[in-house]
């Protein structure tokens, strides 16, 4: 019998052998995992429902705690009616389109600048000493303080609003990228160099994958802060946008619409952040494989 025949016969013999029996508890473990996930989802839904019920109780009973009062806070029912009116309004599409464009345009620019600067600063002590100090000075400045400068810097109000969302998203992305690069284990870099990897290979195959989880976290937080700055951005000069809708409702003291605008921003901000994190996690299969192995 030739070697090739032996090689071809071995898999067949292996296939003919009885496969190991599946552990009796495996199905129960899978079922308990599913039940656990369902229980967590139910708990999260109940937590939101509890907050809404507390809001309903405090607003309908006009609770006044001294420091905090609900005498003028609209109830969930009033907010729901205002949301229904907005959903039926033809202006809703214009509001959403304007806000989504401003947020994602500023966010995309912040992602490019923040990741690029973070990778460079994280790997260069010279750039850390020259670029990071002025950036740290700018970081604590609130978005609303940038409004006058944004109006002076940009020829159109649309660019000014995009700039505000850019500022809001930039620093979480930048700082998380820097921390991710600085947190790469030096032994991994030394091992790659000892195996003959050049600077480009070390960067793309060691540093970038190791820093990716922190970068994704920064991208997720940056998306949330971009939506957080939306009202500030659309205070500049807006005729459409969820932030403008919220601010205009405050000016005319239409309190239910204020809450509707806040909830729209919260829901879209949460959904966008979750989407960014899901996409980032899908691009990092090695990270979750390592966690499972550990």
Tell me which of 52, 73, 94 is where a domain ends: 73
Report how many domains make up the chain: 2
Please report the pLDDT score of residue 200 as a whole number. 87
For residue 5, tell me if it sits in a domain: no
**Shared domain check, 182 and 139:** yes
**Shared domain check, 137 and 44:** no
**Shared domain check, 100 and 35:** no
**Shared domain check, 44 and 164:** no
Q: Indicate the DSSP class of residue 25.
A: T
For residue 177, tell me if it sits in a domain: yes
Please report the pLDDT score of residue 239 as a whole number. 79
Please report the pLDDT score of residue 292 as a whole number. 52
Please report the pLDDT score of residue 272 as a whole number. 92
**Shared domain check, 104 and 47:** no
**Shared domain check, 50 and 127:** no
**Shared domain check, 142 and 39:** no
Please report the pLDDT score of residue 290 as a whole number. 54
Please report the pLDDT score of residue 1 as a whole number. 42
For residue 20, tell me if it sits in a domain: no
Q: Smallest Cα–Cα separation from 197: which of 207, 189, 185, 209? A: 189
Q: Which two tokens stand for residue 278?
A: 């899901």
SS3 69: strand
CATH number at residue 231: 1.10.3720.10
Over the stretch 172-221, which tens digit does the pLDDT of each residue have?
999 999 999 999 888 888 888 888 888 888 888 888 988 999 999 999 99
**Shared domain check, 230 and 106:** yes
**Shared domain check, 145 and 49:** no
Q: Which residues contact 107 (CB under 8 A, 6 or more apart)?
A: 165, 166, 169, 222, 223, 226
The angle formed by the CA atoms of residues 245, 249 and 254, to the nearest 5 degrees, is 145
Please report the pLDDT score of residue 14 as a whole number. 43
For residue 249, tell me if it sits in a domain: yes
pTM above 0.85, yes or no: no
For residue 14, tell me if it sits in a domain: no
**Shared domain check, 168 and 55:** no
Tell me which of 73, 103, 130 is where a domain ends: 73
Please report the pLDDT score of residue 26 as a whole number. 47
Region of residue 66 (left: phi > 0; alpha: psi -120 to 50; beta: else): left
For residue 86, tell me if it sits in a domain: yes
For residue 117, tell me if it sits in a domain: yes
Please report the pLDDT score of residue 115 as a whole number. 96
**Shared domain check, 217 and 109:** yes
Q: Tell the burial category of 68 from Cβ atoms under 10 Å away from its Cβ (0-12, 13-18, 19+).
A: exposed
Q: What sections of the chain are H helices per DSSP?
A: 3-16, 26-60, 76-88, 91-123, 125-138, 147-153, 157-182, 186-194, 199-202, 208-228, 230-234, 242-251, 255-282, 285-293
Whose structure tokens read 């071995």? 10
**Shared domain check, 102 and 68:** no
Structural domain containing residue 53:
29-73
Query: Could you tell me the mean pLDDT of each successive run of 10 residues in the chain, 294 residues long?
Result: 42 46 50 80 92 91 86 90 91 91 95 95 92 93 90 90 94 95 88 86 88 94 92 81 89 90 92 91 73 52
For residue 1, tell me if it sits in a domain: no
């Amino acid at each position: 019998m030739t070697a090739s025949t032996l090689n071809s016969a071995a898999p067949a013999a292996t296939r003919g052998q009885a496969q190991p029996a599946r552990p009796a508890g495996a199905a129960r473990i899978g079922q308990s995992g599913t039940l656990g996930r369902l229980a967590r989802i139910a708990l999260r839904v109940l937590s939101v429902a509890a907050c809404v019920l507390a809001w309903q109780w405090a607003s309908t009973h006009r609770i006044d705690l001294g420091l905090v009062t609900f005498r003028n806070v609209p109830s969930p029912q009033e907010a729901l009616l205002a949301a229904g009116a907005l959903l039926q309004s033809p202006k809703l599409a214009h509001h959403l389109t304007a806000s989504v464009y401003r947020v994602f345009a500023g966010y995309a620019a912040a992602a490019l600048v923040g990741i690029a600067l973070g990778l460079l600063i994280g790997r260069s002590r010279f750039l850390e000493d020259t670029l990071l100090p002025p950036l740290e000075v700018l970081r604590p400045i609130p978005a609303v303080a940038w409004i006058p400068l944004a109006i002076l810097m940009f020829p159109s109000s649309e660019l000014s609003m995009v700039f505000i969302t850019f500022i809001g998203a930039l620093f979480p992305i930048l700082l998380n990228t820097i921390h991710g690069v600085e947190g790469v284990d030096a032994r991994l870099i030394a091992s790659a160099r000892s195996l003959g990897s050049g600077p480009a290979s070390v960067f793309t195959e060691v540093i970038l994958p190791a820093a990716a989880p922190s970068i994704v976290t920064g991208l997720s937080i940056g998306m949330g802060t971009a939506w957080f700055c939306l009202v500030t951005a659309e205070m500049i000069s807006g005729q459409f946008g969820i932030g403008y809708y919220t601010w205009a409702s405050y000016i005319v003291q239409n309190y239910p619409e204020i809450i509707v605008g806040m909830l729209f921003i919260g829901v879209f901000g949460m959904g966008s952040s979750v989407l960014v994190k899901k996409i980032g996690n899908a691009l990092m299969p090695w990270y979750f494989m390592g966690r499972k192995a550990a």
